[in-house]
Structure formats: C-alpha cells, structure tokens
Amino acid sequence: MLSRKRLAAGTNAHKEPQLTSSGRTEAVASFVQQRIWLHEQLYFHSSDVSVYNILLPLIIKQGSLSIERIRSVLLTVIEQHTVLRTAVRFNSQSNQIEQYIQAATDDIYSFKHSRGVCTWEQLDQLLTNESVGKHFDIESGRVMRCHIIQRSNDEHDHRLSEGDLITITFHHISFDNSSHKPFMEALKKAFLTDHHQQPVSSIPQYIDFTLYEQTMLADTRMDSKMNKARQFWSNLMDGYDWNRTRQLVSGETDTKQIRSGRGFSTTFSVNQHVVDAMMLCASSNNFTMFALSLACYYAFLFKLINDDDLCVAGNIANRFIQETKDMIGMFVNLAPYRMEIEPNVPFDHLVRKVQQLSSNIIEHACLPYQHIINSHDKRGHQVLPSTLFHYESLMSSMTQNNKSEGTTNEGSVLGIYFDRDRSHGNGIALFDLTLTIAHDHQSRSTECFVDCSADIFKNQADVDLLANRFQHMLTQLFGFSMNDESMHNQFSMPISKLSLILPEEVEEMQRVIFRKLSNIANEVIYSSKGYYGSFTFTAPASYAQTRIWLDERVRFDSGKSQIANYNMPFIYRPFPNHTLSAQQLYNALQLVLAKHQSLHTSLIFDTKRNLLMQRIIELNDNNIRLFTLIESTYETDEQLNAIIENEK
C-alpha cells in the first residue's frame, strides 16, 4: 500500500500543468509584459516616439462598410480577447508589475477618423504616424487604436468604400506578429455575425498563460523543463561581461542607456549571384539559411567592433503549447545568442556552431529573458544586448497574407493593405543595431534591412556605409564561381581574412604614392625624460601601410583589448648542443633594426593634410629600445604551444 501511494504521489508530481481558463481579472504581469514595461520606463521614457507599435492596415477591396458597424465589430473582438483591454502597471504595495483586465467600453480603445486622404503622400504620412506615434495608455488598458482613413471628404458619408482603409495599431505589450492570424480570424467571425456575441468563459485568455508560466517556473524538479532551461542558459552566459562597452562606431562616447527611439534605416537587395551561392552552401552542407545568415552577422560584428565574445539578441515566438498558437497576446521571448568567435578557423566552422546554438536555444527558449540574465529581481539592471538579428522567411509570409482576406455578412471584402514594409524606415530604432534578413525561397531573393539608433550613428551616411561594408563582406564569402572547389575555398576562409574595406577605399589608397619629401626638414621630439629620438624624414605612407592602418582603424579601438590580426610570428630554436644568450640575441636584433628603416618607422595621421604619413625614427646615442625582449620558460609542449599561440 505504501509503495502504491508513493507511486501515485510520484505520478501526480510529474504531471505537467495545463493551460486552462481561470476567470481571473487580475494577476502579476507576464514576464514579457514586465520586460516591455520596464524597457519603456528605463530606456525610452523621455522619447517622443513609440518603438513598440504594431500596425495592421486593412483595405476595403470590395463593397462598403458602415463606420458604426466597424466600431461594433472591434468592440466585440476586444470583449472576447481580454488582452486587448488589459492594463499593465506597477503596484507599489505588492512591489510588482501587474495586469488588470478592464471593462469593454466604447472608449477602451483609441479612435480617429480622417477624411479627404487622396494622395499617396498623405496616406504614407498617416501610416507612418500610426507606426511611431504615442497613442496608448498602458496603465489604463488602452492598448489598441483604430484609425479610419477615408478618401471621401463628405462629412455626411459614414460608409467606407472600396480603397478606404481601416488601420488598427496595437501596443506590443498586448500583441505580437503571431497574433495577426487569430486577430483576423476573430475579426472575420465578428463581421459574419449579425448579433453581439458574449465571450466564451471556458476559453483560456492571455492572463491564464501568465498563471501557467508562473506554475512552470515554480516547478522545482531537477528534470523539469524550466530547470533544464536554467542550466543551459547558465552555462551559455557564464562569464559574459554585460558591463563591457562594445563600440559600434569608432570614437563612440555615448555610454548612456537612455535612448531617444530615433533611428536611421537603409535597405538593399543582395546580389543574385551571392544569393544563389548562399543557398547552394546551405543545401550542400545541410545548413539552415537562418544559421548561415546569423553566422555572417557574427563575422561582420567581429570585424566591426573587434570583440570575440559576441551576444546578439534574437526573437523567439515562444508559442510552444497548442493553446497559445491561436491566442492573441505578446509571447515573444528575447534570447541572447552568445557566440565566442575563433577568428582563425574556417567560416563554415562558425556556421556549424551557430546552427547547433540555434537548435539549443529553440529547445530552451521557454525561460523568460529576465531569468536568462539572472536579473529579474533587479529593476535597475534590465540589460539588453545592443544588437539584434531577425530572419524572415517570405515564403511563409506570402502564404499567410493570401489567407488574410475576410468577407462580411454584407458581402464586402477586407484584406491587408501593403505598400511597403512598415516595420522599417520609420525613423525609429529599438536596438542600437538591428539586421533583418528577409529571404524568399521561391524567387531566390534576399533583402537586408539595417536599422540603427540615432543616438549612436549620427547620420544616414554612416548607416549607408555600414550596409555597404556588410554587402562587401558577403561578396568575399560568396562571390565565387559555382563549382565545388571554389565554393570550398571561399567557405573555408577564416574570419580574420575578411575585410570591411570597400573597393573604392582601396582604390583611393592606391593613389597614395610613396616618395621622399625633400622639402620637409628633420623633426626632433622631446619627452618628459628628455631627448629620445629624431625623424630623418617624413613622407606619405605606402599603399600597403595605409591599407593595414585603415583596416585596423575600422575594426580596432585602442581603448579596448585587441585581437591582433596582423601579428606575424617567426619561430626559431638553436641547433642541438648550441647555445645563445639573451644579450647576444638582443644585440643582433638591434643591428637588424638599425639596418632596416621599415622596422623603426611610425605611422601618424596628419590632420592638416588629411593624409597618413610615415616617419622613420633615427636611433640615437642613448640606444633607445624599439622592441621588447621577453623571457619565458616552459617544461611541457602544452606550455610551449600556449606561449606560441599568445604571440600570434
């Protein structure tokens, strides 16, 4: 009997919690709601734009609709889906962020009606304002907005006709991109019903997902899903320095976390030959296009900021259980994709690491971001990666758009209005640098969107230049002829061999001619210790010197620890039974340096001439040391290899 009871108890303990309807109207906010609420409060509280708007513009394709009918249908949808009337605010008594379902009243959502919109410019301005305007009041539950855009200027015309728009905007705290489908289904169902429908109490709501999430996190079993996720993320993020400054722009001085929300954007189509090569590489090596694209982003960031410990944010849909797939709400979890770069290994090795990382992250992405970074109880430390990567498969998007038409009971047809991708190019930026790669498998085409914070990148030209450098890097990796040998050679290129210097910059450097300038007198330099050297002559740097100098300037910053890609170690050892003293070696090296001027030449940028100059330092009677002699001892081959590797 005892064993049976224990067995029964064990069975109950291992039973997974279910997402069911609770009927609750108040609860702690979900971790996603908390993250967005805190993010706005900590980073964008003083911004004059909103970075969390999601726009859903609908167009009357056929027939007509009364505005009164539209408002009645929207209220029905809001009543049935409580997350669209849920307030999120901080409760000072409980010291936590909570959610409160509000009553479905006529003013629970924002409404506006514009008439006489006849030109594309007028429409574009209105839609842009809907995308970035501060229309919501989260703390009172106003998280949805409807803007009727009518071509007619007749104030007595209360019916929308073919070509008129119904633009619906949501705050991201209540809605994500996966909510489009269930919202459209709810809208179509409401339009097909003549009478008002009461919400079905047995259907789980978003607040019930919050309770389910809390139950899952409270599961203390070692083999529970959340504990397995905790272990994975603890191992992945161990040792990552969140406080380290990673400069995306050379000379960047703004280290404040407060952001204006303003940004610059640019977009470009990837060369068809490069797209074909990327798809061939992916299929030949069993890589996903996501992993291949993210690996390219890692390589680019490594060359850009000279950091071998990179953390890129990625969005995970986080709808792992069936009950959430058809639910309206905000489920997207933010996952830090941490990757430690090995610059001297082939690029395909990086792609394999990225693919494995992506697979592991998907498996453990249920853990809320606050738990991942282990700072959910520290409101002042809601750290975020500065860069984000987003991959879109346009094939699935096209399929979804084709199903996003609805017919009303009056025979009118509604569909999604699309003139351009309005998630980009609106002058806003959520992260300091975001790369979105949109790949269409059917048309074999790829679009890249680069969105940059105006707080970091000071003008549009800087963002355009950044995009050009990324394109150039893609060409280096995938600009090969379509055969196995050339593909293998390019794909095996170490990341350290890639360059962000553009061809036109190389051409400019090639115009720099090396010659001695006879009209420049020798210069004498003094230091706090007295006289230490003189320059015999000054001349423009050679093309090779300029190329390397510029390459390091693009990728390196003297204020940080550097990974030196231009070190050239030469390893020598005495013959058996022969000896060489350190002093003999030092004297010999001094003679070599004195004989070859290139070994005691400095490079200095002349700001007056806007030109890189080389200056040869003349050795003086004080026998100034132009190199460092370091003595190390070793006992094992492993210690010797470590010393050699460090010199590299």
Question: Which CATH number fits the domain that encloses residue 310?
Answer: 3.30.559.30
Looking at the structure, tell me whether residues 34 and 173 fall in a common domain: yes
Please, what's the b/e burial string for 539-568 (b: 16 or more CB within 10 A of its CB; e: otherwise)?
Answer: bbbbbebbbbbbbbebbbbeeeeebebeee
* In-domain check, residue 478: yes
Q: Is the pLDDT at 514 greater than 50, yes or no?
A: no
Mean pLDDT of 9-26: 77
Report for 78-82, 248-252, 600-604: range of highest mean pLDDT: 78-82
- Choice between 91 and 620, residue whose per-residue pLDDT is larger: 91
468 within domain boundaries = yes
| Same domain for 557 and 429 | no
What number is the average pLDDT over the span 590-608?
Answer: 80
Average pLDDT (61-74) is: 94
Choose among 304, 267, 281, 427: nearest CA to 351.
281
Higher per-residue pLDDT: 251 or 497: 497
Do residues 49 and 164 share a domain?
Answer: yes
Token pair 């890639």 in the structure block, residue: 498
pLDDT at 528 exceeding the cut of 50: no
Per-residue HEC secondary structure of 426-492 comes to CCECCCCEEEEEEEECCCCEEEEEEEEECCCCCCHHHHHHHHHHHHHHHHHHHCCCCCHHHHHHHHC
For residue 430, being part of any structural domain is answered with yes
Same domain, 303 and 363: yes
Element (H, E) at 99: strand 96-101
Question: In sequence order, what are the beta bridge partners of 65?
Answer: 160
Predicted confidence (pLDDT) at residue 564 exceeds the cutoff of 70:
no
Residues 478 and 586 both lie in one domain: no
CA 638 to chain centre: 39
Q: Give pLDDT, residue 515.
A: 46
Q: In the prediction, which pLDDT does 195 show?
A: 65
Q: Which of 190, 208, 226 is the last residue of a domain?
A: 208
Q: Residue 140 pLDDT > 70, yes or no? A: yes
Q: Is the pLDDT of residue 110 over 70?
A: yes
Average pLDDT for 212-240: 93
| Average pLDDT rounded to a whole number, residues 368-388 | 73
Neighbours of 265 (CB within 10 A): 20
Q: What contacts 404, CB < 8 A, 6 or more positions away?
A: 180, 181, 184, 415, 416
Q: What pLDDT is recorded for position 206?
A: 98
H or E stretch at 618: strand 611-618
pLDDT of residue 165 exceeding 80, the answer is: yes
Question: Does residue 36 lie within any of the structural domains?
Answer: yes
Count of beta carbons in the 10 Å neighbourhood of residue 15: 8
Based on the fold, state whether residues 395 and 474 are members of the same structural domain. yes
**In residues, how long is the chain?**
648
Residues whose CB is less than 8 angstroms from the CB of residue 134 and which lie 6 or more positions away in sequence, other chains included: 48, 49, 50
Q: Are residues 431 and 313 in the same domain?
A: yes
pLDDT value at residue 621: 44
State residue 14's pLDDT score.
Answer: 63
Residue 220: the pLDDT is 86
Tokens of 40: 């706005």
pLDDT at 400: 47
Statement: residue 13 has pLDDT above 60? no
Tokens (6 digits) for 439? 């790949």
> Residue 197's pLDDT is what?
67
Q: Please say which residue of 479, 505, 531 terminates a domain.
A: 505
Nearest to 306 by CA among 390, 236, 245, 358: 245
- Whether 288 and 282 have beta carbons less than 8 Å apart is answered as yes
Side-chain-side CA neighbours of 98 within 13 Å: the count stands at 14
In a domain, 242, yes or no: no
Q: Give me the pLDDT at residue 6, please.
A: 41
| pLDDT computed for residue 1 by the predictor | 38
The dihedrals phi and psi of 439, each to the nearest 5 degrees, come to: -115, 130
Per-residue pLDDT, averaged over 122-139, amounts to 95
Looking at per-residue pLDDT, the higher value among 491 and 368 belongs to 368
Confidence band (pLDDT; 50, 70, 90) for 28?
very high
In a domain, 511, yes or no: no
Query: What does the pLDDT read at residue 632?
Result: 84
Residues 154 and 280 in one domain: no
What's the mean pLDDT in 636-644?
Answer: 79
The reply to whether 60 and 195 lie within a common domain is: yes
Boundary residue ending a domain (505, 531, 554): 505
Residue 193: its pLDDT value, please? 83
Confidence class for position 586, pLDDT limits 50, 70, 90: confident
Contact 134/44 with Cβ under 8 angstroms? no
- 3 state DSSP class of 49: coil
Identify the weakest region by mean pLDDT among 101-115, 171-185, 222-236, 576-590: 576-590
Structural domain includes residue 64 = yes
Q: Which residue range forms the structural domain that includes residue 87?
A: 26-208
User: pLDDT (tens digit, 9 = 90+) per residue, 266-314?
Assistant: 999 999 999 999 999 999 999 999 999 999 999 999 999 989 999 999 9
Residues 495 and 554 reside in one and the same domain: no
pTM confidence score: 0.77
Same domain, 527 and 609: yes
Which residues is 540 bridged to in the sheet?
613
State pLDDT tens for residues 306-344.
899 999 999 999 999 999 999 999 999 999 999 999 999
Q: Is the pLDDT of residue 550 over 50?
A: yes
- Per-residue pLDDT, 513: 44
Percentage of residues in the chain having pLDDT higher than 70: 84
The answer to the question of residue 466 being in a domain is: yes
| Band (93; pLDDT cuts 50, 70, 90) | very high
Query: Which alpha helices (H) appear in 119-179, and where do they start and end?
Result: 120-132
Closest CA to 348 of 404, 397, 282, 415: 282
Of residues 216 and 648, more confidently modeled: 216
Is the model more confident about 476 or about 567? Answer: 476
Q: Are residues 387 and 296 in the same domain?
A: yes
pLDDT of residue 450: 97
pLDDT band at 488 (very low <50, low <70, confident <90, very high): low
Tell me what the mean pLDDT of segment 397-416 comes to.
70
Q: What is the CATH number of the domain that holds 190?
A: 3.30.559.10
Q: How many domains does the chain have?
A: 3
Is pLDDT larger for residue 519 or for residue 211?
A: 211
Place of tokens 């590489």: 281
Q: What pLDDT sits at residue 230?
A: 94
pLDDT at 77: 96
Q: How far is the CA of 330 from the CAs of 51, 54, 143, 327, 576, in angstroms? A: 15, 11, 12, 9, 71
Higher pLDDT, 600 or 435: 435
Mean pLDDT for the chain? 85
Q: Is 48 helix (H, G, I), strand (E, B) or coil?
A: coil
The rounded percent of the chain whose pLDDT value lies above 90 is: 56
